[in-house]
Structure 1
Amino acid sequence: MSPTEQPVSVLVVVPGPAAVRPADALVRAVETAHPSWQVLRVWAGDPDLAPATVEWCDAGPTEFEAAALPADGRVLAAACDAVGRLHVGPVVVLTGGAVAVDGSLGALVAPAGEIVVVPRLLEPPPLDDLGPSTSRLADDGRCSTAALGFGAGTGDTAAWLRETLTRPESVSAGAALETTAALFPSSWCDDPAIGASAWRWGADSPSLLEAPTFDPQRPWLLDPSLDAPPRVSLSDPARRRVVDALASQLGGADAVLRLPGGLTADETVRETLRRFGQPTLRPWTEPVPTRSVLDEHFWDVLHDLEPDLRAAFPDPNGADAGRWAAWTRQAVSDRRVPLLIEPLQSAERNGPRRTADRTDGVNLVGYFRRQSGVGEVARRVAAVLDRAGVPHTTVGYDDGDGPGVADAPECDDRLEYANSIVFVNGDQFDRFRRSMPDVFGPGRRIVGVWFWEIDTVDPDWVGHTHVDEIWSATTFMARTFAALRGPEVVHVALPMADPTPSIRSRAEFAPLASAGDRFVFGVVFDHLSVTHRKNPSAAIRAFRDAFAPDEGPLLVVKSINGRRCWEEHERLLAEVGDRPDIIVWDEHLPHADHMALIGSFDALVSLHRSEGLGLHLAEAMALGVPVIATRYSGNVDLMDDESSILIDAEIVPIGPNGGWAYPATASWAEPDHHQAVDALRRLANDPAGAVELGERGRRHHAELARTTMSEAAFVDVIRHRLGLTGSPTTDH
């Protein structure tokens, strides 16, 4: 009798409550593919939370295993226990919530005395920087823990694997399984339809899909836990359709358990129990001995696990004992155990040195060498003061997220004057003060040129107590900062110089090389500026509804930092789907080339939810490019209905889309989709009218640059507000 003809048992191991419903869908899928197989459910979650309405197999991890192992380790321990108890032959193990079935699993049926494992990779991948990284194989093991087969008579193999999982010398579940496969009779499943995952996708229609960290709320990502752009991207419409069809079987597989009292069994807790606990511990039914182990050893294990803590407190039981104890007290007080701490080195960094306290000029301090909007403003102001003959020095501050500027200006990096204008946003000001203490001090006046994109600001987030004035480039931002009730807030319009594009032609940009005379809409944004706020997806949705794929117009979505914010970038690609007339191009360009690209568009679209300034919109108008933009926030200082197409918007709560940057209770705009669709059609159907709108925008920008946003007006503000003494002579 061949393995596939033998009576087969399938163990669907459920790691927690969130995986119960996906596991039910998995059971139905297995029964559809193999009606004659017996399917058993095994609980591997919190011992107190197993649903009573489900018939569970009398097997599973011990309480110690449940507390000491991550989800995949608990699943393997439960499977090994069941294999040892059932005494039946061949068993296929599937993790509920981690795998989805859509075809035959015959390749997982193991011969007697052997196990079958599923390799994460069937062939060497390209050596690239996509995720998962091949370096993870050393830690995670080369085979999947979510799907495997045990042949008849493999009880000893299962027992050895189970013991390996809980030994004090910690190994991952995948590494333990790989070692077991190397030491005991085994075979590797080479069926490309089995084991499609974040590692590989070998068949158009996989029989078994593995996605243990799949989040139904983010269905455009197969593995949201990655820290790099994905090796297997769901921007491929065919793959996305497969995942959408199988999504009901996925989710909840990576559940973290909670011990009595609400203590999360995170990595540190699990590692502490493995190192110092005994297998006889029963954390749920007898919690006191377990808590004693944690109380005695938790902080030592945390210190050992985290490189940042070891660097900050190299001798926690000796010279650093006092500081280390204080840190642990603060961690407890905050009801958290953070993995990272604020670097102590910032206070010790060698910043610029003060050489004088002259009052006839100003120090300009900021992101001169960084590619960011604030850095561009700093460079622009320095150029204005050069032309006006206002004495100044430039000091580069490099502790920011943006990449370096290709042709970074040379900074003086000295503090010559008592007055300083600092181009560092408020939420970074506390760190800036620790990095450059010589900027501050008695008799020194500090102006913060700050940008903020929404209508509220948390005073705990910004270092407004460290500045004498806040200068805001738009009335929208000035109103927001005025609510801080701290330093004086002044609306200071930035000088609007004409952009200087490079000589690159439209056809020299990759996404426009074959555009010909098609009408090209452009979107430009930086993922680090919060993708949800920039809202490029709204432009994509409007374009999809405005035009059929072969209608003619083209949409180019130009981004930067997509690799750093790969999850948001993947979602953007998923929005594009199979539309060949929408091109996403993630590329850093020199500023002059970036201006040339904007100048190559037939229209620039910004359906933003909020903008502090909207400098790119002003630059497009200066280049004569018509602009479609949301009628909300800082950009309305720069445009009106005569010089642009403004899209009405509803003010809505930000909610969870603000992420780390903005409070959920704050507000921003949701631009009107139908108006945006109509605006796109209006311009594409009337190219001559679009050219005329661009010309009106150019004239409007020129008028602003001549009056309220002129260089002369800006220089007058600096001289008046800072009380510069002496005649304006060049000192730079």
Structure 2
Amino acid sequence: ILRYDILELATAVKPRCMKRLFEEGAEYVFYIDPDIVFFRPLEEALGMLGEGAMGVLTPHLLAPLPRDGALPDDRYILRSGVYNLGFLALSAGEESEALLDWWWGWLKTDCYRDPCKGVFVDQKWMDFAPVFWPQMGILRDETYNVAYWNLPQRDIERRGEVWYVNGRPMTFFHFSGFDPERPGILSKHQNRITIKPWMDLARLLKWYADTLKAHDYPTYARMPVLLPRFDNGVPVDPVVRRLFQEALEQGVSFADPLSTQGNGSFLEWLNERSPRDVSREGPPITRYLEQLYHMRSDVMRVYPDLFGEHRQGFIHWLFNTGRKEHDIHEAFLRPLDASPAPAPSYPGFNVASYLRTESGIGEAARGYVRALQRLRVPLVLNDVSDLAEVYRSEDESLNAPFAYDNPHPVNLICVNADQVPVFLQRMGEAYFKNRYNIGLWAWETPDFPEAWRDRFAYFDEIWVASDFEAEAIGLVSPIPVIKVPHVVEVPEVKGEKADFGLEGEFLFLFMYDFHSIAARKNPEAVIEAFSRAFHPDEPARLVLKSVNGEHHPEAMRALMGRAGDARITVMDRYLSALDRFKLMAACDAYVSLHRAEGFGLTIAEAMALGKPVIATDWSGNRDFMHVHNAFPVAYRLIRLEKAEGPYPEGTLWADPDIEDAAAKMRRVFDHPEEAKALGERAREAIRNSLSAEAVAQRIASRMEVIKQHIVKPGELPVEAVTDWRQRLRRTWHWGLGKAPPVVQPFLRRQGRRAKKLLKI
């Protein structure tokens, strides 16, 4: 009970039960999973036993599965075992007795689910059986153990009242992973096969679901599983069970593991400081907390140094998130005094940006504010939304006061490079004085404009959201360029197509802003791909959601000319933030055939909502989008033949392959369950890498460096001398005459100050 959960326990007792039946005189013993249905006698299996085989195993597969990204594949099967132990037959004899004794020897201690350690309950051990006992029979019959893992190789059909597999009467079907409340889905463990109503397989699944419900399945499904508890009422959770296993492996035993009386109890052992926590400083990382940490790969990625610099961050996650997600009993938090650990000491930030503006840079800035709040960094927010007057500024999601001063030692200025002179003119050079200045910049092509390079002189470092941006800007930057991804967190919303007048069709969605240059966003390519993918009579619709079309009338007219198809809806208006996410949640797939993206915020948001995404496989979105969680579209690189906005003639960007995009839109439409599974992987990927928690940890690591470079008025640390020499060289190299007039006085004063401090 302490060692295993209900599934592990149920599978661990197989060898003991089978041996008991042999001891009572059985000639043959069969183990059959409860989700198996027989359609004819086991003639082939009984024949093998009658001819001298000690037992019968059925392989998961009789031929390789395609290596195409769908699940299951051969590697997926390898992790759980070559043979499926939902069916096992043994005959009485010394060989079977020896096998059962060997099997039980392992299952009584190692019947748990941990494919990473090469263990999968009772099943994977049986890979050894045909090697250790050559008399073990392997039944390669396509009518046996038909299930989601081998259905790609087996055709199901019904002739009258008989079910057939590849033209032969089916022996038994294994409904592994099937939910009778969702009979249109074959199994929760696969995304390779999509059930269509006209398929005989759909009829089989419906029949099984109806049969279960007729035999009171809902009542049994709701029956609770009683969990063991310590004698003081503390429940035995999965963390406790795994640690009990570890204790036994280490030779640590307890007279009564569930007793908390006296010293040296199992509960007390769980709450001892981990032997690996050798620093003995700060709140203790107990055995329980360390095991919890190792059971959460996403938390491990965010806090890789558990016993060092990330100790406090992990404990902060534990109290703010982890305790709720894992329903952690307070008994396991008492070693931490049941109160959040004090946050690390970070310098305060002044965050300046378009904090109410409904734009990409505004949303990015708000995300960084949320990440800094997670770290409990002292913040002052300076809103300059009025400088972005071409955008609507009605986002109030920060729910925080704005200030005019910037008292903290670090400025985070989320304003693109081209707008830095405008920002400086508004805020004045005093805003930068005696501050560590960070610029958040976005750029979408490999070549950063030469005309903007004088802006580096105002900053100590630049933050960018992607590797693509880091490479483009880093190639010409004389100061550090640091990748700090955008925070991507979406609300829990339920999108209803009817709310937008779009019910009854499969929806493809693309969102963009005309201010972001329509030629780069490339909506015409989405229209063309959609038109090639679907016939006019198919229930598919493309929704083009845009804003600011009225400011770009020529581009808007061109779009409407291309979007004349009745199956295409153009929606050019602002929505509230909540309604925008509802629309995204209502769609069935998201498409972006962009030519270039610095990051790809709407792509990431759609993935965070669990949507299958079809997007150009180039530029910033490649940081988080790949073949395992999306449908990347092929492309070729081309040069711009004429300037488009800030992108001059000759700019390099992508030309997405329309045929490839159309094929992938078709695939999502034809295989919705596969697309849904891919969307769930996308949701997990975004949550792991782009949550406020994950981005906060990146910022925390960078702040350890920033703290060393914060300059007090009149002081300049020795380690900063090189930085200031570089800043002087930048100013002299570019020449003041190349800088905008508004910033020339600022650059002269910076140069005089550096000369004085460095005595040069």
Q: Identify the TM-score tier after normalising by the shorter chain.
A: 0.3 to 0.5
When normalised by structure 2's length, the TM-score is: 0.46
The structure carrying a bigger helix percent of its residues is 2
